[in-house]
Amino acid sequence: MFARVLFVLLLAGNIGVAAWLWLAPKPSVAAMPVTDVGVPQLVLLSEQMGAAASAAELAEAPRSATDLARLSCTQLGPFGTQADLRRTMAALTPRVDRVQFRETRTTRSRGWWVFLPAFSDRTSALSAARTLSGQGIRDYYVVTAGDQQNTISLGLFRDRENAERRVAEVQALGFLPGISERQDELPEYWLEFATVVGAEVNWRDIVPDTANLVATPIGCR
């Protein structure tokens, strides 16, 4: 009898403990931070590029026709160096509605080259050079390497008129010299700035050095 009562009491106790464990409120667990304190969260490169592109689109949103109609736009240049461009841009920026720059390429003449076309070999070139020297021509040079090897240079002249005189002088000695313009490709820099119609600025009063600069009205865009 006693054993039966003890069994019933133990069974009831187990049921009570199980019920308490089931019904008791569960403790809240604080969410662990995804990174340590002071360590930046990882961001996918695609997410960074997407955010940058969105920001650029917002910053460079095209202006409406109404906005453009109230502006007067001017192209100023050319500037020979980036330093000149930056100085002018810094001077104009506080005075105009907006300003931007662009780069173009241009060719400039370095002068006119007079020469005897390349001979078949160095021996022939040196022989012709000795003939020139014997007839009083002093300003010449035999090219010894490169694309113009065995050519005889007869001088580089700033003015075409002087180059043509040199050609005539050498022709009179029985040679057939050539003449070629030497050119360099150089960068040019331009500023485009906009002012509100009726509130235009006199850029000559603002720009540090106005020499060789030309201002041209352009359409705003």
Domains and CATH numbers, the chain: 67-107+186-218 (3.30.70.120), 108-184 (3.30.70.1070)
Question: How far, CA to CA in Å, does 87 sit from each of 92, 96, 100?
Answer: 9, 15, 13
Are 72 and 197 within 8 A, CB to CB? yes
Nearest of 190, 189, 193 to residue 73 by alpha carbon: 193
Percent of the chain topping pLDDT 90: 55
Instruction: With a cut of 70, say whether residue 214 has pLDDT above it.
Output: yes
Give 198's pLDDT tier (boundaries 50, 70, 90).
confident
Query: And the tokens for 149?
Result: 């090897």
Report if pTM > 0.85.
no
Residue 206 dihedral angles phi and psi, to the nearest 5°: -110, -40
Q: How far apart are CA 219 and CA 102, in angstroms?
A: 15
Q: Residue 74: exposed, middle, or buried by beta-carbon count in 10 A (0-12, 13-18, 19+)?
A: buried
Q: How far apart are CA 195 and CA 173, in angstroms?
A: 64
Query: What integer best gives the mean pLDDT of the chain?
Result: 81
What is the model's pLDDT at position 34? 52
Q: How far apart are CA 148 and CA 181, in angstroms?
A: 15
What is the model's pLDDT at position 146? 93
What is the model's pLDDT at position 15? 66
Query: And the tokens for 204?
Result: 């000559």
Element (H, E) at 142: strand 141-142
Instruction: With a cut of 70, say whether residue 6 has pLDDT above it.
Output: no
Q: pLDDT, tens digit, for every residue of 13-57? A: 666 655 556 665 555 554 555 555 554 554 443 444 444 434 333
What is the model's pLDDT at position 56? 35
